[in-house]
Amino acid sequence: MRFLGYSFLLLYPFLSILLANNQSLLYLEVEELLLEGKELADNEQFSESLKVLNGALGLLKQTPRSHPLRVEAEKLMRVTKGRFLVARYRGGEIQNFTDPNALRPLSEESREFKVLQVFGKVLTRKVWEPRDGIRVGEVLGLGRRVTTLPKGGIELVSSSVSPTTLRTVQASSFDLIRPNQFALHSGSFVLHSTVKNSTIIIESPMVEVKLSCKNPFAFMAGITTNGGVKIIGLLGEVSLRSDGGKLELLPGELTFALSDGFSRKMNVELSTLLVTSNLLTDFEQPPVFLKKLRQQAMMQALRTRKRFRTVVGDVKGTENFELKVLQEDPR
């Protein structure tokens, strides 16, 4: 054991040097991309320049926003977008280049999210030109607002190092803020992180909640009438944090996130969710974590002698919630 410890001490400097070298190579690659992007912009090849600069920013996702290279990349991006807009105006392509809400062409849309499944009518708005028909395999960029109409549904996955999957159905609306952050305006959602030690951030009209777990995890989120969020744990021991407090949530537990913190926890029967939730049943392909969710449902049933078949409804104020009891079949 002492020998292993001694060996690690000998190797540690070399590991540190290796990590530092890898980081240096990354920064060199970013610097080359910034130079290439600037040269392309100087030659008025703005579309190509923006693609290159987007690639540079992608490499810098894990760096602090104050890092000099990231600051420089974002500055070049802003300047290039401005020059591109002015050039298009002078060329007669657009009539009002001063409009801050001008939408960018679909050909420039970034690729942070990929569509895994879709059915019914799904619309996308904001940043880029609107799209009224979404197909499997297409990509969506950060800043997009996605709206599912009644009888519609969509499942997306982020293309980041820590992939996050989101699925929603039946008249919902949300914005893609970051690969792991979503502004949920209305409707119900299932979110799933596929890797260990990850975080998902959800925003509602009332509250922002950060959900973290040491292992892959999944949860349901529904926007309530008063703008809060109803959260149900599906997989993993999840830590919830907001400005109003913090909470630990297990599979089968439910809480409401409100502006002043979290409500008391309640138990929800997972086996009932498995057969009644449109989020789990309406898609052609089930969630990738379905097998583990079934195992959690079986474990919960074994722990619970008396079955409370309940569905927790909406929150319309700041304190009370609806609780609906499902009647047993008299047969």
Which pLDDT score, from 0 to 100, does residue 128 have? 86
Q: What pLDDT, in 10s, does the model give residues 60-92?
A: 777 777 788 888 888 888 788 777 765 654 554
* Domain boundary assignment for the chain: 2-90, 109-325
Given a contact cutoff of 8 angstroms between Cβ atoms, the answer to whether 192 and 172 are in contact is no
Percent with pLDDT over 70 in the chain: 79
Residues 251-289 as b or e (16 or more Cβ within 10 Å = b): bbbbbbbbeeebbebbebbbbbbbeebebbebbeeebeb
**Domain 109-325 bears CATH identifier 2.60.120.1440:** yes
Cβ burial, residue 104 (10 Å; 0-12/13-18/19+)? middle
Tokens of 191: 């979110």
For residue 61, the number of C-alpha atoms closer than 13 Å in the C-beta half-sphere is 12
Q: Above 60 in pLDDT, residue 14? A: no
If you compute the radius of gyration of the chain from its CA atoms, what whole number of angstroms results? 24
Determine phi and psi for 191, rounding to 5 degrees. -120, 145
Predicted pLDDT of residue 227: 86
Q: Please tell me the class of the 2-90 domain.
A: mainly alpha
User: pLDDT value at position 87?
Assistant: 65
Output the average pLDDT for the chain. Answer: 81
Contact 150, 186 (CB under 8 A): no
- Strands 198-203, 181-193: pairing kind: parallel
Continuous segment of H or E residues that includes residue 66 = none
Which helix (H) or strand (E) element contains residue 182? strand 181-193
